[in-house]
């Protein structure tokens, strides 16, 4: 599974490298936070690891769903704008899951 990581710190990169060696995960590291302007950069990823400076509003959630993202993992508290409700054929649950 390809996972896009937002806000990875240099001291964490070793952990991601070790995780890649252990299984079916591959990581892509984003340079800018996720928001309406950067959502187009998400390509071929099933999962995202988010920080609190990422903004997941309704428009971003719909675009992520269209792009095949199924899982959102929050490294800290819920990102700004992340909502809990049924919308546009998918459910986005707090820090959990996008379902097409």
Residue range 39-62: average pLDDT? 89
Higher-scoring residue by pLDDT: 77, 22: 22
pLDDT tens-digit map of 3-19: 999 988 888 899 999 99
In the numeric block, the tokens 């428009």 are attached to 59
Range of the domain at 34: 2-92
* Angstrom distance (rounded) from CA 13 to CA 87: 35
**In a domain? residue 52:** yes
Identify the three-state secondary structure at position 43.
coil
**In a domain? residue 100:** no
Residue 19 belongs to domain with CATH number: 3.40.50.720
Structure tokens at 86: 């049924």
User: How many structural domains is the chain composed of?
Assistant: 1
Q: What is each CA distance from 50 to 25, 26, 47, 96, in whole angstroms?
A: 16, 16, 10, 11
**In a domain? residue 98:** no
pLDDT at residue 4, rounded to an integer: 96
pLDDT at residue 74, rounded to an integer: 81
**In a domain? residue 79:** yes
Higher-scoring residue by pLDDT: 88, 24: 24
pLDDT at residue 80, rounded to an integer: 52
């Amino acid at each position: 599974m390809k996972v896009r990581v937002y806000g990875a710190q240099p001291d964490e990169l070793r952990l991601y490298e070790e995780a890649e060696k252990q299984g079916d995960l591959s990581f892509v590291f984003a340079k800018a936070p996720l928001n309406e302007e950067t959502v187009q950069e998400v390509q071929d990823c099933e999962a995202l690891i988010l920080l609190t400076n990422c903004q997941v509003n309704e428009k971003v959630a719909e675009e992520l769903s269209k792009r095949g993202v199924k899982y959102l993992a929050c490294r800290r508290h819920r990102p700004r704008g992340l909502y809990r409700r049924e919308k546009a054929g998918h459910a986005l649950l707090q820090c959990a899951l996008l379902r097409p």
